[in-house]
Amino acid sequence: MATYNEAGNLQPLVQTIRQFAPRSSILIIDDNSPDGTGKIA
């Protein structure tokens, strides 16, 4: 999943994905977001 400035949305999105696809792997690619998205990922 490509992200940019999604620090506030990342956790709820991953939780929702895991709710519907609990065995899935999630690859998060951050484009050097200044809001810290990469650190959260």
Vertex 34 angle, CA 36 and 40, to 5° = 15
Domain that holds residue 15: 2-40
Residue 13: per-residue pLDDT: 95
Residue 29: per-residue pLDDT: 95
Residue 41: per-residue pLDDT: 87
Residues with pLDDT less than 70, the chain: none
Number of domains within the chain = 1
